[in-house]
Amino acid sequence: MSHGEQIREKIPVQTKFGNCILYFTNFVVTLESVTKGLVLELDHESVLSFHPVDKKSLKLTWSENNSIYEMIINYEKSDDIANKFKEIQNDHMDSLRIAGIKIKEKMPKQVEMKKIRVH
């Protein structure tokens, strides 16, 4: 994990890779297979949608290298995961806006340039 990254949710799920752990951190969404290790790591900006398909499955859709991918994730309460993800993603986007404001405040004021005549 990178500096300042925190695991917000750790959820056991089923995917085409078998038993997995779905991690939501304040920076990324990670899927780790119990047998194969790290399967997927997406920053929040790459995730296009994460919504329930039915009561026990969700569809994760993301963009990568100008292509769109999707994966079905099985979990007993798909609405719970979708709501947790929305909350974490909203927090992430809020933190980006706050960081953007802080950076903007720290930027030096523009210096007015004047033409100088050289003799």
| SS3 per residue for the chain | CCCCCCEEEEEEEEECCEEEEEEEECCEEEEEECCCEEEEEEEHHHEEEEEEEECCEEEEEEEECCEEEEEEEECCCHHHHHHHHHHHHHHHHHHHHHHHHHHHHHCCCCCCCCCCCCC
User: Which pLDDT score is estimated for 112?
Assistant: 52
- What is the arithmetic mean of pLDDT over 98-108? 50
Give the global pTM: 0.69
The pLDDT confidence band at residue 92, using thresholds 50, 70 and 90, is low
Upper half-sphere CA count for residue 55 (Cβ side, 13 Å): 1
Q: Measure the CA angle with vertex 50, ends 46 and 54; round to 5°.
A: 160
Digit-coded pLDDT (tens) for 10-47:
999 999 999 999 998 888 889 999 999 999 999 888 88
Digit-coded pLDDT (tens) for 62-76:
998 889 999 999 998
pLDDT at 91 over 80: no
User: Which pLDDT score is estimated for 57?
Assistant: 92
Q: Are 76 and 118 in contact (CB under 8 A)?
A: no
User: Which pLDDT score is estimated for 103?
Assistant: 47
User: Which pLDDT score is estimated for 28?
Assistant: 85
Domain coordinates in residue numbering, the chain = 7-104
Q: For the domain made up of 7-104, give the CATH fold.
A: PH-domain like (2.30.29)
